[in-house]
Homo-oligomer: A and B are copies of this chain.
Amino acid sequence: MTAARRTATRLADGRELLYFDDTATAPRVAVDRRQIWARPDHPELRYDPTAGEWVIVAGHRQERTHLPPTEACPLCPSAADRQTEIPEPSYDVVVFENRFPSLAGDRGRCEVVCFTDDHDASFASLPPGRVRTVVDVWADRTEALGRRADIEYVFCFENRGVEIGVTLPHPHGQIYGYPFVPPRPARMIECATRHRRDTGRDLFDEVLASERGAGGRVVAANHDWTAFVPAAARWPFEVHVYPHRRVPDLPALEPAERDSLASIYLDVLDRFDRVLGPPAPYVAAWYQAPVRTGRADLALHLEVFSIRRAPGKLKYLAGSESAMEVWINDVAPEEAAGLLREAGPVAGTPGRT
């Protein structure tokens, strides 16, 4: 399944750590020599009976490392004089259990994914080969976490930028294994199921065909993927990236689709930087089918959105969004699509279907 070389080890406090190397290099054998112990505190899942939703209460996270100076970055590789979360002196991609998790024990899992050992890089600056390794990592973790009895949904994502609350600037993403299907993907499954029952057709196929047919909101496309601003975008700059072949999740992507994903992903992030001023803050969120249910209904796709509505201006979630869950978007999706389309290095032309 995974093209990258995978080496599993454990940190000093027992947490799992996995190296994924673009190509086979020297073996990964360094040992974590820190004196750290397993944290006793565990997050708690609480149910809100009035709004019908689960909330994670993780009081211990207030202590987590907050914007440390570069020389104290816990995501850089270890050096002779300094031990970090990663024992090796260099790495390609590394995954490990979060020391301050929102989900832990037998109620889910939180993992950190470091995209590069270069502290000053960003996802957008990675070479396509490295992005391909990251895609393989997401697929690996989706499969591995999906085998656990306590995990129902695997969410791979990246929060990028201090404006979105990122506490560590080193390029990294996260993977959450939730012990339930979260509300938004659950609602997507309901919508797709109802659509199939009412029309006999697949909802995600129809959305993709309609956007490719109309073209006005398409931002970029290649042989396997199309990136577009959805008609009812919630965020001023929001792009959805759909594969042309409908699949339930990341592990189902073929090698060629993973390569072309790397290329369109980098293209989309580059456009965000160009339109919103680098570095653009964003959330990149993978929606995939739950591990055991709704496999035929929720089709894999990526949603990337920025909380910036213009250079220097943020979109805030206030009363209507937070309390009513009604989003107000001050930028017309067609306008955002036009700006993102024109910002690209090459005009976005839909590839063959």
| A56 contact set on B, CB distance < 8 A | 320, 326-329
Closest chain B residue to A46, Cβ basis: B232
A49, B208: Cα distance in complex, Å: 12
Cβ contacts under 8 Å, A244 to chain B: none
A residues 55-101 in Cβ contact with B at 8 Å: 55-59, 61-62
Asked if A102 CB lies within 8 Å of chain B CBs, one says yes
| Identical subunits present | 2
Is A323's CB under 8 angstroms from B303's CB?
Answer: yes
- Does residue A252 face the partner (Cβ distance < 8 Å to B)? no
Report how many residues on chain A are interfacial, defined by Cβ distance under 8 Å. 72
* CA distance in complex: A331, B64 (Å): 13
Query: Within residues 251 to 268 of chain A, which ones have a CB less than 8 A from any CB in chain B?
Result: none
Establish whether residues A102 and B328, one from each chain, have CB atoms under 8 Å apart when the complex forms: yes
| Chain B minimum-CB-distance residue to A324 | B182
Q: Give bound CA distance, A57 to B58, whole Å.
A: 35
Given contacts A52-B190, A155-B319, contact A184 B324 (CB under 8 A): yes
Q: Is A322 an interface residue (CB 8 A)?
A: yes
The 3 closest A-B pairs by CB, nearest first: A165-B316, A285-B323, A182-B324
Q: Among the interface residues A54, A317, A335, which one has the most CB atoms of the partner chain B within 10 A?
A: A317
**Closest-CB distance, A248 to chain B (whole angstroms):** 15
* A234 CB contacts on chain B under 8 angstroms: 48, 55
Chain B neighbourhood of A319, CB < 8 A: 155, 157-159, 174, 176, 283, 285
* A325/B102 in contact, CB under 8 A: no
Near B by CB (< 8 A), chain A positions 173-203 give 174, 176, 178, 182-185, 187-188, 190-192, 195, 203
Complex Cα–Cα for A46 and B230 (A): 10
B57/A165 in contact, CB under 8 A:
no
Q: Which residue of B lies closest to A286 (CB)?
A: B323
CB distance from A67 to the nearest CB of B (A): 11
Give the distance to chain B from A118, nearest Cβ to Cβ, in Å: 23
Q: Is the CB of B191 within 8 A of A49?
A: yes
* Contact, CB under 8 Å: A57 / B318: no
Q: Given contacts A55-B327, A184-B323, A233-B55, are A309 and B159 in contact (CB under 8 A)?
A: no
Q: Return the chain B residue nearest A330 by Cβ.
A: B61
Q: Known contacts A59-B332, A62-B330, A318-B283; decide if A49 and B203 are in contact (CB<8 Å).
A: yes
The answer to whether A58 and B323 have CB atoms under 8 Å apart is no
B50 A207 Cβ-Cβ under 8 A: yes
Q: Which residue of chain B has its CB nearest to the CB of A240?
A: B50
Contact A323 B155 (CB under 8 A): yes
